[in-house]
Amino acid sequence: MHPGDYQLEIYLNGLTGTVPDHPMTFTELAERAQRALPPGLWSYVAGGAGDEHTQDANAAAFTDWGLYPRMFVGADRRDLSVDLCGIPLPSPLLMAPVGVIGLCSQDRRGDIATARAAAATGVPMVASTLTQDPMEDVAPHLGDTPGLFQLYTPTDRDLAASLVRRAEQAGFRALVVTLDTWITGWRPRDLATANFPQLRGHCLANYTSDPVFQELVGPDPTPDQVVATWAGLFGNPLTWDDLPWLRSLTDLPLIVKGICHPDDARRAADGGVDALYCSNHGGRQANGGIPALECLPEVAAATDLPVIFDSGIRSGTDIVKALALGATAVAVGRPYAYALAVGGLPGLVHTLRALLAEADLLMAVNGYPTPADLTPAALKRLR
Ligand code: FMN
């Protein structure tokens, strides 16, 4: 079985008159997600920082590169598996942490649906700190697929330690600490509707279920007290001096998310992290103007550590190009949030399979049978 076999399945279904229920392109996915989601949630998921130039540039940057077709390779057998910090993965694709994924499914149990999609496809879920269901309820649905836990480091160190301890006990296999979101970037779409989901009490289950948080908020808190306590400790403006403490929190692989400069990559490596996560948060945080893909080669070259990449991946082709530019694994954010909104669990499974099928078939046609064959030499810079 290759991921690309999904296309045969679709064509064979067509012989009995069945066509896919779910979108085949990102454009259609986005159009249908906009219709499926309440307007405020659509704006929150689809929007980004400032005039969204960086967010658009993230996706456009992939068209600056082309993949050389190579012949006489006989790439009839592909192996897309990768090793990420000692965790064997069937493919290099992950689902990025999306804090409101819980709200994106019609029943508002999207964290659990995402975990089930991970179980069905082998595509790991990076579970956000911000979930509708507590991590202990999400993790069992991952099945045999590894899950990673993403930490928004709170200002209270005991709460941070408690969240990490719970993630370990729930069976998550790595800790992803997000560095670029201790404060929220300027997001005009959300500001125009004065809408910030967590301030309305959404996606705080990991906090309200936490013994340290419960202690901090006091007995029988009102919803307003929960939100006020959460808002008061959500964002920790970490410095390099905090890295030894973060490292001491867990023996799990520690992955730092938001690394876009080679100096930061080197310093994080010196501080004992296990992998780098090159991302500009999908252009949601800073409208600084550099597409994340432009940062990837330098970050990848800076150390020997594995690198996860996200921000702007919209297709299987994009996955292949990011691998060639140095990523060990790549993650999608909005594409899977839209897929869940449009088609629930089956829609999400379809989109993940479609992304992998396209990547696999591009590698087959162009003669790159494994991720290791994808190097910068496979790419031609077009602009
Ligand atoms: N990143 C985090 O580290 N933690 C989060 O809770 C989180 N929530 C997000 C919520 C939404 C609605 C979106 C779209 C992104 C969020 N991100 C979060 C950023 C994603 O992990 C990822 O970096 C980004 O979506 C990748 O870009 P893409 O959407 O262009 O694929």
**What are the structural domain ranges in the chain?**
40-66+73-374
Q: What's the pLDDT score for residue 228?
A: 98
Report the distance separating Cα 282 and Cα 332, nearest Å: 9
Exactly one of 2, 141, 202, 281 is catalytic; which is it?
281
Active site residue 281: yes
- If you average pLDDT over residues 250-269, what whole number do you get? 98
- Helix, strand, or coil here: 83? strand
User: Which one-letter amino acid corresponds to residue 367?
Assistant: G
Ligand 1 centroid to 100 CA: how many Å? 9
Q: What's the pLDDT score for residue 115?
A: 99
Q: What's the pLDDT score for residue 282?
A: 98
Ligand 1 contact via 227 beta carbon (within 6 Å): no
Question: What size, in residues, is the chain?
Answer: 383
Mind listing the pLDDT tens digit for each residue in 158-193?
A: 999 999 999 999 999 999 999 999 999 999 999 999
**Contact partners, residue 15, CB within 8 Å, separation at least 6:** none
Q: What's the pLDDT score for residue 225?
A: 98
pTM of the model: 0.98
- If you average pLDDT over residues 255-262, what whole number do you get? 98
User: Which one-letter amino acid corresponds to residue 63?
Assistant: T
% residues pLDDT > 70 (the chain): 100
Q: What's the pLDDT score for residue 204?
A: 98
Q: Would the ipTM clear 0.90, i.e. be above it?
A: yes
- If you average pLDDT over residues 227-236, what whole number do you get? 98
Q: What's the pLDDT score for residue 113?
A: 98
The mean pLDDT of the chain is: 98
Report the distance separating Cα 354 and Cα 358, nearest Å: 6
Mind listing the pLDDT tens digit for each residue in 325-383?
A: 999 999 999 999 999 999 999 999 999 999 999 999 999 999 999 999 999 999 999 99
- If you average pLDDT over residues 82-100, what whole number do you get? 98
Q: What's the pLDDT score for residue 205?
A: 98
Ligand 1 contact via 97 beta carbon (within 6 Å): yes
Which of the four pLDDT bands, split at 50, 70 and 90, describes residue 25?
very high
Report which ligand 1 atom has the smallest distance to the Cα of 313.
31
| DSSP sequence for 212-259 | HHHHHH-SS--HHHHHHHHHHHS-----GGGHHHHHHT-SS-EEEE--
- If you average pLDDT over residues 223-241, what whole number do you get? 98
- If you average pLDDT over residues 11-39, what whole number do you get? 98
- Known binding residue 188? Answer is no
- Helix, strand, or coil here: 128? coil
Q: What distance separates the 2 farthest-apart alpha carbons in the chain? A: 69
Helices (H) and strands (E) in the chain, counts: 17, 12
Report which ligand 1 atom has the smallest distance to the Cα of 310.
26
% residues pLDDT > 90 (the chain): 100
Q: What's the pLDDT score for residue 357?
A: 98
CATH architecture for the domain at 40-66+73-374: Alpha-Beta Barrel (3.20)
What are the CA-CA distances from residue 240 to residues 138, 256, 265, 269, 275 (Å)?
Answer: 32, 12, 12, 12, 16
- If you average pLDDT over residues 127-138, what whole number do you get? 98
Q: What's the pLDDT score for residue 321?
A: 99
Ligand 1 contact via 334 beta carbon (within 6 Å): yes
Q: What's the pLDDT score for residue 383?
A: 94
Ligand 1 contact via 313 beta carbon (within 6 Å): yes
Q: What's the pLDDT score for residue 12?
A: 98
Closest protein CA for atom 12 of ligand 1: 45
How many Cβ atoms from other residues are within 10 Å of residue 68's Cβ?
A: 12
Ligand 1 centroid to 337 CA: how many Å? 9
- Known binding residue 333? Answer is yes
**Contact partners, residue 383, CB within 8 Å, separation at least 6:** 63, 64
**Contact partners, residue 145, CB within 8 Å, separation at least 6:** 118, 119, 121, 122, 123, 124, 125
Closest protein CA for atom 31 of ligand 1: 333
Given a contact cutoff of 8 angstroms between Cβ atoms, the answer to whether 105 and 344 are in contact is yes
